[in-house]
Amino acid sequence: MESFTTTVALIGIVVIVASLVSGLVERTGLPIVAVFLALGAALGPFGLGLVDIGFESPALHALAMLALALVLFSDAVTIDVTEVRRRKPLLWRLLGPGTLMPAALVALAARYLLDVPWTSAAILGAALASTDPVLLRSVLRSRGFPTVPKIALRIETGMNDVVLLPIVVLSIIAVGGASQAPNSNAIARSIVGLFILGPGLGALVGWLGIVLLDQVRSRFALRRDYESLYAIGLALTAFAFAESVGGSGFLAAFAAGVLISSQDVELCDCFLEYGEATSEMLLLLTFVALGTSLIWTGLIVVDFPTIVLVIIALTVRTIVLYPVLTHGDVTGRDRRLIALFGPRGLSSLLLTLLAVFAGVPGSERLFSVACLVVLSSVVLHGVGIAVYLRRNAAAEPALAPAPVPVAGPVAPVAPRAPLPVMQEAAPKAEPVSDKITIDEVRALQAAGEEVIILDARADRNRRNSETQAAGSIRVHPHEPVQDARALRLSQRATLVVYCA
């Protein structure tokens, strides 16, 4: 039985466990998803019996809807529009044959192996063609992972869900869900809401949100962590606005994220720094909820045809994508990494749950099959990713990039905000402010003080910027202290860090 106290306790446990095991999981390279599935099993009827979340659970319905919306929004915000434009041929290969062909082949296999209708087969095929960003988290954040595969996987995980979602929704509409067969007017309204109303309203909410934020920024200072929460607020607002008028809230959230990514680089970088952790907590909570009992239904449907389908679902992407990438400018090693790292995870489960919530006949069986595929992927891809990261850990660069001298005076990167400064390690007689102006930096340099300027901007912000501080040293925004130690920076110098 669910209760308010149980739900609050579940949220608290997820946050506590995620915080405590994050460092350990990061070092081992194992997927954090496995930890939270085990946590769900421990709390569920197979363990302590504290909670059992089923298909009828309002909490699961709310979690699944919000999680899918935030998955699509996070996917969109993490898209580097500049990289997408630069690598259009790679984009079309990943989203065309790399996404649609596996979906079609899995659907074909499901139709004949499981003896399900074509609409149900299409739902399962689309769901199992989704490449999961949560399981790829450790790879995408690894500094030693090659650049081209990292960009390719970010593009794929950022955009293939929005290609697959319409297939699932249109299949649900075609079968009529729990109601009678849909009429032509209902289908037309659904298509308009899916492809026009939802994306249009999402883009409108994103644009208005950026305009409003820009006005506030020009008058007041905003904390970066609150800007990340602001981005999540825009995602939820876009979702609710579109759903309330008959549009697709999921595509609205994606459209809002795309607009933010393309129009306000600083806001989406704030989301990557702070908001991504908030979204990840919700996704992990969803894994715990599914892990109490529902995901383990995948073990019940094990038989020979289902095992064959699982093998097809986990290998068809590699089989299709590897030869497709030979026609591009992707090298042998990069091509292998892109083709092999295609896990199936939460996105697949959430897409299948849409059919369950819509009352599609036989959808609970489809969900169980998807659960078996995801469990197999967590084991196979999770172990493979962990082995790869551990094997290549020694090859990661131990030092941050060398200083990059730039001719000219120190130039502000973001004029509307003063540059932050780290406290000196040596004690000072006078208290030092946590911020410093350009004129104060020049005054320190003129007085003979040792001043080290650290560029800690996010990679996308730095790449798209036309200005850079003279003589600055590049440090990674996620590991500035580690990089500073590796560079053996003087502990008596004034470290001026800018990240805007």
253-265 pLDDT, tens digit per residue, is 999 988 888 887 6
- Ranked by mean pLDDT, the top range of 75-89, 362-376, 473-487 is 362-376
Given a contact cutoff of 8 angstroms between Cβ atoms, the answer to whether 497 and 311 are in contact is no
| Beta bridge partners of residue 455, listed in sequence order | 474, 498
Tokens of residue 439, six digits = 């004129």
Confidence of residue 205 (pLDDT cuts 50, 70, 90): very high
Residue 134: alpha-carbon gap to chain centroid? 6
Residue 447: alpha-carbon gap to chain centroid? 47
Taking residues 451-462, report their average pLDDT: 72
Cα–Cα distances in Å, from 404 out to 454, 468, 473?
Answer: 11, 9, 6
Residue 125: alpha-carbon gap to chain centroid? 22
Q: Is the pLDDT of residue 121 over 90?
A: yes
Q: For 153-157, 334-338, 415-419, which range has the lowest pLDDT when averaged over its residues?
A: 415-419
Find, among 472, 383, 483, the residue nearest to 34 by Cα: 383
In terms of Cβ atoms closer than 10 Å to its own Cβ (0-12, 13-18, 19+), residue 23 is exposed
Burial profile 345-370: b = 16 or more Cβ within 10 angstroms, e = fewer: bbbbbbbbbbbbbbebeebebbbbbb
The predicted structure's pLDDT at residue 408:
42
Q: Give the whole-angstrom CA distance, residue 230 versus residue 266.
A: 12
The predicted structure's pLDDT at residue 431:
43
What are residue 317's phi and psi, to 5 degrees? -65, -45
What are residue 222's phi and psi, to 5 degrees? -115, 140
165-195 pLDDT, tens digit per residue, is 999 999 998 886 544 455 666 667 778 877 8
Q: Is the pLDDT of residue 324 over 80?
A: yes
215-233 pLDDT, tens digit per residue, is 888 787 777 778 778 888 9
Got the DSSP string for 46-87? TTT-S----TT-HHHHHHHHHHHHHHHHHHHHT--HHHHHHT
Q: Residue 118 contacts by C-beta under 8 Å, 6 or more apart in sequence?
A: 107, 111
What are residue 190's phi and psi, to 5 degrees? -65, -40
Find, among 145, 144, 165, 162, the residue nearest to 153 by Cα: 145
8-57 pLDDT, tens digit per residue, is 777 788 778 877 877 777 776 677 888 888 888 988 888 888 888 889 88
Record: fold of 4-395: Na+/H+ antiporter like fold (1.20.1530)
Q: Give the whole-angstrom CA distance, residue 75 versus residue 66.
A: 14
DSSP 8-class letter at 220? S
Q: Is the pLDDT of residue 1 over 60?
A: no
The 3-state secondary structure of 156-188 reads: HHHHHHHHHHHHHHHHHHHHCCCCCCCCHHHHH
Look at the alpha carbons of 161, 166, 172, 174 in this order and tell me if their dihedral is positive or negative: negative
> Which has more pLDDT, 240 or 397?
240
Find, among 470, 342, 459, 309, the residue nearest to 403 by Cα: 470
405-453 pLDDT, tens digit per residue, is 443 444 444 443 444 444 444 444 444 456 787 788 788 888 878 888 8
Tokens of residue 447, six digits = 């007085």
Confidence of residue 344 (pLDDT cuts 50, 70, 90): very high
Given a contact cutoff of 8 angstroms between Cβ atoms, the answer to whether 201 and 242 are in contact is yes
The pairing of strands 435-436 and 419-420 is antiparallel
Q: Give the whole-angstrom CA distance, residue 370 versus residue 376.
A: 10
156-173 pLDDT, tens digit per residue, is 988 898 899 999 999 998
Q: Give the whole-angstrom CA distance, residue 498 versus residue 468.
A: 10
Given a contact cutoff of 8 angstroms between Cβ atoms, the answer to whether 251 and 354 are in contact is no
What are the domain boundaries of the chain?
4-395, 419-498
Q: Give the whole-angstrom CA distance, residue 187 versus residue 176.
A: 9
Mean pLDDT of the chain: 80
304-319 pLDDT, tens digit per residue, is 999 999 999 999 999 9
The pairing of strands 451-455 and 419-420 is unpaired
Q: For 118-122, 159-163, 295-299, 458-462, which range has the lowest pLDDT when averaged over its residues?
A: 458-462
Q: Give the whole-angstrom CA distance, residue 183 versus residue 442.
A: 72
